Structure 1
Amino acid sequence: MKKNGTISKWLAYIFLSVLCVIWIVPIIFGLMTSFRSQSELVSSGFRLLPVDWIVDNYIAILENTSTAPILQWLGNSLFIAVSHTILVVIVVSLTAYGYSRLRFQYRDQLFFLLLGISMFPGVVNLIPSYKIIETFGWVNSPLAMIIPGLAGMGNIFLVRQFMKGIPKEFDESARVDGAGEFTIYSRIILPMIKPVLIVTGLFSFTGSWNDFLWPVIVYSDVEKMPITAGLLLLQDIYGNYRMIGQLMGSAFLAIIPTMLLFLFAQKYFVQSMNLNAGVKG
C-alpha cells in the first residue's frame, strides 16, 4: 500500500510538471519575444532567448500616447477592476448572508431558481444588457463595466456555502446580547469569512480586468478604453508582423497586475476551500 501511494504521488508530480511546462513555455517565449528586435523576429526561427536583448519595444509602447495610450488604458482598467471588486464583495457578502442566515418564505427556492437562471450563457444577455446601459447613458462610461455582474450567483453560492459552515450558535448568542442583523453580519460573520471574500475579490478583479467582449462592445472612445479593448486596437497598430515585439510587450504589461495579485493571494485559496476556516475553536 505504501509503495502504491509513492507511485501515485510521483505520477501526480510528473503530470503536474508536464502541465506546468505546457503553460509556462508559451508565456516565457512571449516574454522573450518582447525583448527581440523586429529584424530578429522575421529572420530567425524558433529561439527561446533573444540574440540581442533590447528594451526599445517597451520604450515605444510607453511613448505612444496618441494612438495607443497604454498607461491610460491600464489606469482605466485598474479603476474599473478595483471599484467592481469592492462593490462585488459588499453585494455578495450581504446577499449570501441573507440566503444563509436569515429565514424567510421560499428562501431556498428563490436561491436555486436564480442559480439555475445564471447557468444560461452570458452571451444571451449581451443585447438586453447593452440596451439597459444605453438607457442609463453608461455607454463609454466606467459604470458600464462596474455595475453589471455585481451580484454574480457563482460568487454568492461560494460565499453562502462558506457561511453555512459557521455554526448558528454565534448568531443566537449575539441576538441574546441584543445585537441586530447588521451587527451580526459586520462584527461576527465578516471576520470569519475573510478567506472566501478575498478569493471572491480575486475572481472578481481578474474577471473584470480580463473581460474582453463586453468592453469592446460598450467602448468606442480610445482614451476611455480598458486595457483588453485597447489590446484589440493594438492588433491593428502593431499586428500583421509589423511590430510583434511591441504587441507582446503590451500584452505582458497588461497581465502584470493579475500575476502579482495571484502571487500574494494564493494562500487564501486553500483556506476558502475549508468551510470551517473562519471558525477557531
Structure 2
Amino acid sequence: MAAKAAKLRPAGAGTSGSSPFFQGLVFVLLALGGIVFLIPFVWMILSAFKPESEVLRIPPTLFPETFTMENFKNLFERMNFGVYLKNTLIVVLFSFVGLFLNAMAGFGFAKYRFKGREGLFYLVLATMMIPGQVTMIPVYLILNSIELTNTLVGVVLPGLVGAFGVFLFRQFMSTIPDELLEATRLDGASELRTFAQIVLPISKPILSVQAILTFIAGWNSFLWPLIIANDEKLYTLSVGLSLLKGQYDSNFALQMAGSAFMVVPILIIFAIFQKYIIDNYSISGMK
C-alpha cells in the first residue's frame, strides 16, 4: 500500500514548500521587508537627538553627528509635556483598573449562573456595533449634567470598561475547569480569593494581550480628552503632540522628539508582555 501511495503522489509534492532554498528565500524577503519598514522609525528616533540644522541637512545623516538632548528638554520646558505625561499616566493607571473590572465581568459571565445571563451578555456584545463617535455627544451631555466635564474623572470614566475586553475574558475564562474552582471553594477560599489566586494566574495570556491593548489605548488617548477637557492642564500626550505640530510645524527635530517620546514606551511594553503571550500560548498548544 505504501509503495502504491508513493506512485500515486505527484512528483515533488510535499517537498517544494519545505526546501532549504524556499525557506531561505522567504527569510531574505521578510528580512528585507522588515529593514525597509524599520528605517523610517530608526531615523525618527535618531533624529530626535540631532539639532535642527542637522535634521534639515541634505543629504540626510542617519546617526547624529552632534548628539543633543535639547529637543527633549524643550518638550518639557516650552510645551509643558510634564503635565501631559502626568495626565496620560493617570489615564493609563485607571485603564489598568478597568482591565481588572473587565476581567471580573468576564469571569461573572463565564462561571456564574444567574437569570438573564445570556441576554445581558448579548446586550453587552451589541454595544460593540455602536461606533464610539456616535456615543460621544450623549456621554458628554451625561457627564456635563453631573459636572464632570473638564475634569480628569470625566476623561477616565467613559473608557474604564469595554465590551470587547469583557468578551475576551469571558471566552477565555469559560475554558477554566469548573472542578478546579469548586475544589478551591471547598478549601474555604472566598470568591474574591478564587478569582485573584486561581483565575487571574491561569488567565495570563489574555491578561497580557489586554494589558498591551489597554496601555496603547490609554497612552494614545486623543479625541475624548480633546472633547471633554477645555483646560490645557488636562490634556494628554497625544493632544500635546498635536499642539506641538501646530505651534512648531517648522521645527522638525522637536517633532521627532515628541513622536519618539510617544512611540518608544509602547514598544517597550510590547517587548515586555510578548514573552508572556508566546510562552503561555506555547504551553497551551502543548496541552
TM-score under structure 1 length normalisation: 0.84
CA apart distance, 1:8: 5.9
Q: Which stretch has the larger CA shift, 176-185 or 98-107? A: 176-185
Q: How does 1:186-205 map to 2 (within 5 A)?
A: 186-205=196-215
1:63 corresponding residue in structure 2: 77
Paired residues of 1:196 and 1:271 also in contact (CA < 8 A): no
In structure 2, give the amino acid aligned to 1:266: Q
Residue 48 of structure 2 is aligned to residue 34 of structure 1: yes
Paired residues of 2:84 and 2:234 also in contact (CA < 8 A): yes
Paired residues of 2:222 and 2:236 also in contact (CA < 8 A): no
Secondary structure of residue in 2 paired with 1:44: coil
Give the alignment partner of residue 179 of structure 2, picking from 169, 177, 188: 169
In structure 1, give the amino acid aligned to 2:69: V
2:102 corresponding residue in structure 1: 92
For 2:123 and 2:108, locate their aligned partners in 1 and report how far apart those are by CA, in whole Å.
Answer: 15
1:113-137 superposed Cα distances (whole Å, 9 cap, x missing partner): 3213212221111111211222232
For 2:207 and 2:100, locate their aligned partners in 1 and report how far apart those are by CA, in whole Å.
Answer: 9
For 1:75 and 1:237, locate their aligned partners in 2 and report how far apart those are by CA, in whole Å.
Answer: 21
1:113-167 superposed Cα distances (whole Å, 9 cap, x missing partner): 3213212221111111211222232222221232212221211122122212211
1:44 corresponding residue in structure 2: 58
Paired residues of 1:206 and 1:258 also in contact (CA < 8 A): yes
1:79 corresponding residue in structure 2: 90
Paired residues of 1:74 and 1:254 also in contact (CA < 8 A): no
In structure 1, give the amino acid aligned to 2:264: I
CA apart distance, 1:231: 0.9
Paired residues of 2:205 and 2:280 also in contact (CA < 8 A): yes
1:166-209 superposed Cα distances (whole Å, 9 cap, x missing partner): 11111222344454433432332122223322331221121111
Aligned length: 273
Give the alignment partner of residue 263 of structure 1, picking from 234, 256, 271: 271
For 1:170 and 1:101, locate their aligned partners in 2 and report how far apart those are by CA, in whole Å.
Answer: 12
For 2:192 and 2:51, locate their aligned partners in 1 and report how far apart those are by CA, in whole Å.
Answer: 59
Paired residues of 2:101 and 2:161 also in contact (CA < 8 A): yes
1:184 corresponding residue in structure 2: 194
Paired residues of 2:99 and 2:161 also in contact (CA < 8 A): no
Query: Structure 1, unaligned stretches of length 5 or more?
Result: none
Alpha-carbon distance change, 10 to 152 in structure 1, aligned in 2, over 3 angstroms:
farther
Give the alignment partner of residue 17 of structure 1, picking from 20, 24, 31: 31
For 1:105 and 1:5, locate their aligned partners in 2 and report how far apart those are by CA, in whole Å.
Answer: 54
In structure 2, give the amino acid aligned to 1:48: L
For 2:67 and 2:171, locate their aligned partners in 1 and report how far apart those are by CA, in whole Å.
Answer: 50
1:145 corresponding residue in structure 2: 155
Secondary structure of residue in 1 paired with 2:50: coil
Query: Structure 2, unaligned stretches of length 5 or more?
Result: 1-13
Identity of aligned residues (%): 28
Q: What is the alpha-carbon root mean square deviation over aligned residues?
A: 2.7
Paired residues of 1:196 and 1:272 also in contact (CA < 8 A): no
Secondary structure of residue in 1 paired with 2:159: coil
For 1:89 and 1:229, locate their aligned partners in 2 and report how far apart those are by CA, in whole Å.
Answer: 23
Structure showing greater relative contact order (alpha-carbon pairs closer than 8 Å, 6 or more residues apart): 1
CA apart distance, 1:38: 2.8
Q: Which stretch has the larger CA shift, 244-253 or 51-60? A: 51-60
CA apart distance, 1:236: 2.1
TM-score under structure 2 length normalisation: 0.83
In structure 1, give the amino acid aligned to 2:44: G
